[in-house]
Amino acid sequence: MKCKEIKKTLIDYIDGNIDNDLKMILKEHLKHCKTCSEQVKLLDKVVEIYRKDSPFPLPDEMGKELLKTVKKYCKK
């Protein structure tokens, strides 16, 4: 898979919403691609910080916008 295709699946990968075959392909790609690997680390950190340290719940609209922005970024 190429980076462009990988980026389209990163959110699902981080959320654990992909099948095992695709998961293995992604893991293999991430071993050899520093750019995609760094992107996963960054997205993972954002998700972790929000889930762990969020002092208040995110308003629905803001949550939707954040998710939309992250998905847009991953499709680049």
pLDDT > 60? residue 76: no
Average per-residue pLDDT in the chain? 83
Q: Is the pLDDT of residue 61 over 80?
A: yes
Contacts of residue 7, defined as CB under 8 A and 6 or more positions apart, other chains included, come to 36, 39, 74, 75, 76
Torsions phi, psi of 54, nearest 5? -65, 115
Distance CA 43, CA 54 (A): 16
Q: Give per-residue pLDDT as tens, 16-42.
A: 889 999 999 999 999 999 999 998 988
Residue 71 pLDDT > 80 = no
DSSP-derived secondary structure for 7-18: HTTHHHHHHT-S
Q: Residue 27 has what pLDDT?
A: 93
pLDDT attached to residue 75: 63
